[in-house]
Copies of this chain bind each other. A is one copy, B any other.
Amino acid sequence: MTATPRIVIVGAGFGGLFAARALGRVDADITIIDRHNYHLFQPLLYQVATAGLPPSDVAWPIRSILRRQRNATVLLGEVEAVDRARRIVRLADRDIPFDYLVLATGSTHSYFGRDEWQAVAPGLKSIDDATAIRGRILRAFESAEMAVDPERRRRLLTFVIVGAGPTGVELAGTIAELARFTLAADFRRIDPRSARVVLVEAGPRVLAAFAEPQSMYAQRALEKLGVDVRLNARVTQCDAAGVQLGDERIESETAIWAAGVAASPAGRWLGAPTDRAGRVLVKSDLSIPDDAGVFVIGDAAAVALPGGKVVPGVAPAAKQQGRYVARVLAARLAGRAPPPPFAYRDPGALATIGRRCAVIEFPFVTLRGWLAWWIWGIAHIYFLVGVPSPIVVSLRWLWEYLTYGRGARLITGSEHVD
């Protein structure tokens, strides 16, 4: 009798979690390691950053998602290295041995070599990022209410979002609505509706992953909300008091970074070749070139598509890769022939621009406007698989939709207003 094979999965995002779940009936010891105790529904994280939903509506304990899967163990810990020769994953205070390794460590934003900007223009990747950004936005209004100097007040009421992908567009639209509707009556000395939201994009259009008509539509929708959209604009400097776009300086104390894709450390851990963005170049079965027992999936991997492109770093791709890798492993453990090479099925894309406005590109249909918004909403509720109480989340949405309220407007953490 041989020992039960040990499969270690690092990262409980969409890729890692779907891999673990798809391995539910496999006779193996599965260990899933994450830095956080929660799986995050990243597509709705901007709602936490803009006080629309509380963190626990978009994040759920990994343990409770996997509680009934008896072959899976969840460990909370931060991976420091992978020793491929000795087949161990190294945490701060222990080594986890593996026979098969799946790295699903995601990606982070890229500051294009200017990592010092991160402190002044934070990105949005975790719950703590989101509550920190929420605190920054709300504190800016609080400080503006207190400010005596009109220059400072203007600077406090200017919000700059860098990067006009889905996250940037969603943030810009929602902050504009927060200022124009939710907060409008809350202050006495400032008019929150005078807040300025600037969306900065280095490329020639917003939502570059969509076709041009959708980009145009989204831009017009943002402008109708009062968002100042700056295309072909590159950030050349960034500090606590403003953002420099070439010759122009935008005075702002609140910048949020939603641009670029940066290397996950997976390539470094493995000593494996990566592309320019640091994604690990994987074979068509998602394993790395010289090690058939090590797989990289999701945003951490560069999976070639026919025609020289790579699979985009989106949730559906990570889920498909998670499920695929589970099939490869199940076949290998059972001594069956491997499945055919990974093939990406593009399910289309959705993005929302504030309330009642969204764009959708499905394989056979394109939609813009309020119907798209409702489909977006229903699709997201549908995908909230594993939510402890989807009905509560839905009701909260409906309530806030009807009242323009944003109930989670809490400033937490230790930073102070000044």
Contacts and interface: CB of A to CB of B under 8 A. Distances in A.
A156 interface: no
Contacts of A399: 388-389, 391-392
Contacts of A413: 128, 413
Which among A94, A142, A407 has the highest number of chain B CB atoms within 10 Å?
A407
A142 B417 contact: no
A37 B94 CA distance: 42
A142 B416 CA distance: 31
Interface in A376-402: 388-389, 391-392, 395-396, 399-400
B146 A94 contact: yes
Contacts of A73: 188-189
A381 B409 CA distance: 20
Interface stretch (A54-62, A332-340, A354-362): A54-62
B186 A412 contact: no
Nearest to A71: B188
Shortest 7 CB-CB contacts between residues of A and residues of B: A54-B54, A56-B408, A63-B186, A388-B407, A54-B56, A76-B142, A61-B409
Given A61-B410, A391-B399, 18 more contacts: A36-B411, A37-B142, A56-B407, A56-B410, A61-B409, A64-B186, A67-B185, A67-B186, A73-B188, A73-B189, A74-B188, A75-B145, A75-B146, A76-B142, A94-B148, A128-B412, A388-B399, A395-B395
